[in-house]
Amino acid sequence: MELATVALFLVAGFASLFMAWVIGAGSSGATPFAPAVGANAIPTMRAAFVVGLFGFAGAVTQGSNVSEAVGRGLVGGVSLPAVGVIVALLIGATLMAVGIRTGYPIATAFTVTGAVIGVGLALGGTPVWPKYQQIGAVWALTPFVGGGIAYGIARLLPRSDVPERSSVPLLAGLVGGVLANVEFTFLGPDGGPGSLVALGQRTLGIDGTTAGLGLSLAVALFVAGIVRWDVGRDETGALRRVLLALGSLVAFSAGGSQVGLAVGPLLPLLDEVGAVSPVVVLLGGGLGMLVGSWTGAPRMIKSLSQDYSSLGPRRSIAALVPSFLIAQVAVLLGVPVSFNEIVVSAIIGSGAAVGGGGAISARKILYTVGAWVGSFVLAFVLGYGTLAVVQLA
């Protein structure tokens, strides 16, 4: 391999690490624990430390689906060369860094997706319309689904006729049942992806849909029972512990989704080299996000926890439950999704349920939505234009 080619590969790798750091410092490092910090359940610096650990775990065990979609599923007919990877990642990371600097949550998924599509089309690739439709549907529905579920939960929890010794364990059991069915790397047969339920079925020697549903229900009831006991013993402490557990699961899901935005564009380069395992790349991306969460996330955590809504433990739980569910759906589908969009929408929904419009900064929301849309368009234009200029040169 020529020296110039090696240099380009190294620069692409550094660009990927920089993107991973920016993601950890921004969306995946800030949004999962923002509701918990807003509810005074955990200090900002401790939240950044915990979210980094869970984000790293999610990147390694759930990062392959979104990485594959970003690396090979957004543009047909071409593979991004090293120059294209560098351009796409630097554009996405630069726009994210601007968001971190200004305190506004620029959507990572929008910037990277826009840049990769722009670069790919400039190289002569063809649009992959089915994937765009899937991504667009998830992006468009997320605020309504996430905000709506959060609104409903936030309206339910304070009701006197629905005691928290019943409602909170029910929510926890739902999350536990879903978690038992999500896929993790290395849990499947021969070290492939698989769920805890599938692992349990193989261990017990049972198969079939009915057996899977039975195991899922058993997990849900087990989790609900523990939380019900905890709520009856210490309601205030139990709410805090449920909130922190949900924040950890959302951080884990963020790692599984967001790492693909940093390392996905590298996958076509790995096809050329053939000597680097995708698992190693996921590890590198996870470490970059870990460092980003520990060093850069506190600013964004503070911005999200204080500027959007004053949340208590109940509204924070209401925000994190749909955040976890939507994140896992996106990971399953291999859709790059913005955790800023997911969590901010849920925060708005939970805040509106109790505080009405006065609990939400309308001006902040307007700027945020504008940043989401504008970042995708700007990333696409910059990606397409930069590659067009490079090709002319």
Encode pLDDT of 226-283 as tens digits: 999 999 999 888 998 999 999 999 999 999 999 999 998 888 887 766 666 778 889 9
| pLDDT value of position 355 | 62
Asked if pLDDT for residue 317 goes beyond 80, the answer is yes
> In the numeric block, which tokens belong to residue 187?
């849990």
Binned at pLDDT 50, 70 and 90, residue 311 comes out as low
Residue 4 has pLDDT above 70, yes or no: no
Please write down the long-range contacts of 269-276, taking CB distance under 8 Å and 24 or more positions apart. Answer: 269/9, 269/12, 269/80, 269/81, 269/82, 269/85, 271/79, 273/9
In this prediction, residue 360 has a pLDDT band, given cuts at 50, 70 and 90, of low
User: What span, in angstroms and rounded, lies between the C-alpha atoms of 177 and 174?
Assistant: 5
Burial of residue 20, with CB atoms counted within 10 A of its CB: 0-12 exposed, 13-18 middle, 19 or more buried: buried
Angle 243-247-253 (CA atoms, 0-180°, nearest 5)? 145
Q: Kindly report, residue by residue over 281-301, the tens digit of the pLDDT.
A: 899 999 999 999 998 888 777
Cα separations in angstroms, 249 against 156, 223, 311: 22, 14, 19
Measure the CA dihedral 114/115/121/122, to 10°: 140
Residues 76-94, mean pLDDT to the nearest whole number: 87
The most confident of the ranges 130-134, 183-187, 269-273 is: 130-134
Q: Mean per-residue pLDDT for 351-372?
A: 69
C-alpha distance across the termini of the chain, in Å: 23
pLDDT value at residue 298: 81
> What number is the average pLDDT over the span 189-205?
88
- What is the arithmetic mean of pLDDT over 310-316? 75
pLDDT of amino acid 131? 94
Quick check: helix, strand or coil at residue 391? helix
Give the global pTM: 0.89
358 confidence band (pLDDT: 50, 70, 90): very low
- Band (pLDDT 50/70/90 cuts) for residue 121 is very high
Could you tell me if 151 and 349 are in contact, meaning their C-beta atoms sit under 8 angstroms apart?
yes
**Per-residue pLDDT tens over the stretch 23-39:** 888 766 677 887 778 77
Question: What span, in angstroms and rounded, lies between the C-alpha atoms of 389 and 393?
Answer: 6
User: So what's the pLDDT on residue 207?
Assistant: 86
- Listed in sequence order, the DSSP H helices in the chain are 3-25, 27-30, 34-38, 44-62, 64-72, 82-102, 108-122, 129-156, 164-179, 196-204, 209-233, 235-263, 267-273, 278-307, 313-333, 339-355, 362-392
Residues 250/327, Cβ–Cβ less than 8 Å? yes
Listed range (169-173, 285-289, 388-392) with the worst mean pLDDT:
388-392
Q: Is the pLDDT of residue 356 over 60?
A: no
Percentage of the chain beyond pLDDT 70 is 90
Lowest model confidence (mean pLDDT) among 34-43, 54-63, 383-392:
34-43
Look at 365 and 286; give whichever has higher pLDDT: 286
Of 66-80, 263-277, 339-353, 363-377, which one has max mean pLDDT? 66-80
Residue 309 has a pLDDT of 47
Angle formed by the axes of helices 82-102 and 362-392, nearest 10°: 150
Nearest Cα neighbor of 92 from 110, 104, 67 is 110
